[in-house]
Structure 1
Amino acid sequence: MEESEAPQEYVVFPEEAIKYLPEEWQQHLYALKEEGQGVLEAADDNLKILNRLVHAFPTMASLRYIQHRLASTKFEASMEWALENDMLTLAFVTTYARLIDGGIGSGVSRSALPAELRPVHDHIIELRNKRYAHNVGHDSITGSLEIGFEGGKFDISVNFNMGFHVGGALEWEPLVVFLDGLMIHRLHAQLEKLKERTGREWTFPSGPPPKWVSSNPDSSPPAENDGLKAAH
């Protein structure tokens, strides 16, 4: 059995301190600095793309966690549960839109999605635009005002219907899994381009995924979650 390599140690000190080192050390460090700057300048365009991409990683992590929280929810016939589920759905659709739009060039176009996932994408964007970002009459929420007149006074009542997916729509998970894989693919593609451009190896820190990233069969929402409605 081969022994694992010992972890590398790094010492960081300000550039101003170099002048206090022995002359041969100074020459070596300045040569390394000049060489590194030349490599970075040659790869500047690729590094800008990589920078935009990694800025999307926190959003991707949030999206996966929110989807996990939704899929793990247990239905309760209460207004508090319905509002909690709605809050998680709000977080999911707005985070999804933020990831897709990118904002600084790291977005994902609809055409980058497999054909079978595009209707799911369209549904989420419509949900975000018509129900959560704006009140423009999404078909999952309906309300009506009823006015009665009796005994010389008017009685006002409101009928409100809110449709929701228990734990999110079943189709959301494969979409999130695809996007996560797409981000990793884009990362490695940029690392390969940097290698080609500079002739040097480029690595990105990685480790085992959190437990909540892996699908848990026990946390899957029930099949009858689609179309369930709460009326108040």
Structure 2
Amino acid sequence: MTAPIESSPMESNAEEDYAEDREYVVVPEEAIQFLPPEWRDAFQSKVEDSRAILEAVDSDIKNLIRLVGAFQGMASLSYIHHRLSKADFNSTTEAILEHDMLTSAFVIAYVRLIDGGIGSGVSRKTLPPHLRKAHDEIIELRNKRFAHNAGHRSVDGKLDILFGDGRFDVSVTMQVGYYVRGANEWGELVTFLNGLMFDRLTKLLERLKDKTGCEWTFPSGPPPAWSDSR
């Protein structure tokens, strides 16, 4: 465990610099024993107090770890949807396979986030009612088309065998259905899930603040351009 030390900066000609420019120095717990006695006792007391506080909110911290575990999945889902929603559309085999690839990645990423795993998971009833049909469709796509070849209605094939002149001629006709640049509701789902994850984080940090009496902050900044799913 480390003990953060808040220290004042060097003197500055501008008073506002002195007030705003603050820094933290991290001292390894193993180094505390080498400090002067009055410093050592003060830091040891802080370490013990901090440890007691963290132990008291252990279950909330575990929830925070699970939630943070879902952030990477949320970022992947947002980026994949961005790529899918901007994909070129034409009738070439390459364009069809590109849509199929991106749709597969989106569906797998969505179900991985929804199911939870090391993340927090999202139940169907949490979703807005008008998005639940799209949710069900994605789950079916994952189960019957992309994760397993179980005969999804969007994929069909026909085999024709013709005989003549002493030989058999085999021909195959494949039909593959997909949403051009993804279904309209998929962007709404991504936007909703992004907001849900942020709300969960905010509420969890507020609960930690209430229980410990200390502020809990999380790194934040402007979202990347590709995170806008509209």
By the TM > 0.5 criterion, same fold? yes
Seen in structure 2, the aligned counterparts of structure 1 residues 187 and 169 have a Cα distance that, compared at 3 Å, is same
SS state of the match for residue 148, structure 2? Answer: coil
Amino acid at match of 1:94: I
Q: How far 1:75 moved relative to its partner?
A: 0.8
- Considering Cα pairs closer than 8 Å and 6+ residues apart, tell me whether 1 or 2 has the greater RCO: 1
CA distance in 1, matches of 2:175, 2:20: 61
1:182-201 alignment, distance < 5 Å: 182-201=196-215
Amino acid at match of 2:121: G
SS state of the match for residue 77, structure 1? Answer: coil
From 135, 149, 163, give the equivalent of 2:163: 149
Native 8 Å contact 2:188 2:229 kept in 1: no
From 181, 189, 212, give the equivalent of 2:226: 212
Amino acid at match of 2:33: K
Gaps of 5+ in 1: 217-232
Gaps of 5+ in 2: 1-15
From 50, 59, 62, give the equivalent of 1:48: 62
Q: How far 1:14 moved relative to its partner?
A: 2.7
Query: Which whole-Å deviations, capped at 9, do the CAs of 1:76-120 have from their partners, x for residues lacking one?
Result: 321112111111111100000000000136100001111111001
Amino acid at match of 2:185: E
SS state of the match for residue 197, structure 1? Answer: helix
Seen in structure 2, the aligned counterparts of structure 1 residues 203 and 152 have a Cα distance that, compared at 3 Å, is same
Q: How far 1:193 moved relative to its partner?
A: 1.0
SS state of the match for residue 11, structure 1? Answer: strand
From 91, 94, 102, give the equivalent of 1:77: 91
CA distance in 2, matches of 1:14, 1:52: 27
SS state of the match for residue 184, structure 2? Answer: coil
Larger Rg: 2
Q: How far 1:12 moved relative to its partner?
A: 2.8
Q: How many residue pairs end up in the alignment?
A: 214
User: Normalization by structure 2: what TM-score?
Assistant: 0.88
Query: Which whole-Å deviations, capped at 9, do the CAs of 1:131-157 have from their partners, x for residues lacking one?
Result: 101111111110011111010011111
From 181, 184, 188, give the equivalent of 1:167: 181
Q: How far 1:11 moved relative to its partner?
A: 2.5
Amino acid at match of 1:134: H
What residue number does 1:87 align with? Answer: 101
Native 8 Å contact 2:78 2:229 kept in 1: no
From 6, 18, 36, give the equivalent of 1:22: 36
SS state of the match for residue 156, structure 1? Answer: strand
Query: Which whole-Å deviations, capped at 9, do the CAs of 1:151-204 have from their partners, x for residues lacking one?
Result: 001111111011111111111000110011001111111111111111111111
SS state of the match for residue 12, structure 1? Answer: strand
Q: CA RMSD in A?
A: 1.6
SS state of the match for residue 164, structure 1? Answer: coil
Amino acid at match of 2:98: E
User: Normalization by structure 1: what TM-score?
Assistant: 0.88
CA distance in 2, matches of 1:37, 1:159: 66
Q: How far 1:208 moved relative to its partner?
A: 0.5
Seen in structure 2, the aligned counterparts of structure 1 residues 47 and 136 have a Cα distance that, compared at 3 Å, is same
CA distance in 1, matches of 2:101, 2:153: 18
- Given the alignment of the two structures, is residue 114 of structure 1 paired with residue 109 of structure 2, yes or no? no
Amino acid at match of 1:127: L
Q: How far 1:52 moved relative to its partner?
A: 0.7
1:215-230 alignment, distance < 5 Å: 215=229
CA distance in 2, matches of 1:169, 1:105: 25
